[in-house]
Chain A
Amino acid sequence: MKFAIALFSPAHSPASRRALRFAEAALAAGHEIVRLFLYQDGVHNASANIVTAQDELDLAGEWARFVRSHDLDGVVCIAAGLRRGVLDEQEAKRQSRPAANLLPVWELSGLGQLHEAAQQADRLVCFGGH
């Protein structure tokens, strides 16, 4: 099966870890993940600026490693990202902001990418809230 996975809550939410564990299990079962899409507060999972305590789970780091090691398509909604201060180099420059903080495995793009993924996927699974 082809899965599109969307995440709507930040790295410190239980839903983020749940989404990652789900994504790992999907690949382990031989399924394909057509895209990971970060929306609403989910954009924070793509931030390079999150610092977790030594004895706490670094979900943003884990997500980045997961996306990179499986060469997945990781997209962050640009409108949601801007609203929450998650910017790449191009946007930081364009908006005259002091820092770019998007982890390089992720790409800023529009909601069209969520729809494209939904069109390609057999299943769209959303994670968010608590």
Chain B
Amino acid sequence: MARSMLIITRQSPWSGPTAREALDIALAGGAFELPLGMLFLDDGVFQLTQAQQAAQLQQKDLTANLQALPMFGIDSLYAAKRSLSERGLDATKLSLLVEVLDDDALRTLINSYDHVITL
């Protein structure tokens, strides 16, 4: 049975390549049909806001690539409830369909995967 991996992404799309390089790990795993989950935590929830304009900073649009996750068979997508509320974000107005979890649920989530990578 394949080992599962949770990728915890904690950076905004605008702080360097980390958000993209976390996504790349997920997409690479999806291409091999591996059991993967992705959790948006801390500033990582800023990857999920709407109406971002990557072109303003001459960057590639991360949102479009995030929306490709289900196409790669990765639909176990989560966001931390606390991270959203700390940042004044409305969980109903995100650019991606994610399951919003509180701290208790997040503890259970983390402990349900074989491997974890936090970027």
List residues of A whose CB falls within 8 A of some B CB. 6, 8, 39-40, 79-80, 83, 110-112, 114-115, 118-119, 124, 126
Q: Closest B residue to A4 by CB, please name it.
A: B115
CA distance A80 to B16 in the complex (A): 13
Chain B residues within an 8 Å CB radius of A114: 25, 28
- Residue B99 interfacial (CB < 8 Å): no
- Further 12 A-B residue pairs, CB within 8 A, beyond A40-B17, A40-B21: A39-B21, A40-B119, A79-B24, A112-B31, A115-B5, A115-B29, A115-B34, A118-B115, A119-B3, A124-B5, A124-B116, A126-B117
Q: Closest B residue to A115 by CB, please name it.
A: B29
Q: Chain A interface secondary structure, helix, strand, loop or mixed?
A: helix
Those of B7-49 within 8 Å (CB) of chain A: 17-18, 21, 24-25, 28-29, 31-32, 34
Q: Which 8 A-B pairs have the closest CB atoms?
A: A111-B28, A124-B115, A115-B29, A118-B115, A119-B3, A40-B21, A112-B28, A115-B32
A-B contact pairs, 25 of them (CB 8 A): A39-B21, A39-B25, A40-B17, A40-B18, A79-B24, A80-B21, A83-B17, A111-B24, A111-B29, A112-B28, A112-B31, A112-B32, A114-B25, A114-B28, A115-B5, A115-B28, A115-B29, A115-B32, A115-B34, A119-B2, A119-B3, A119-B34, A124-B115, A124-B116, A126-B117
Chain B residues within an 8 Å CB radius of A80: 21
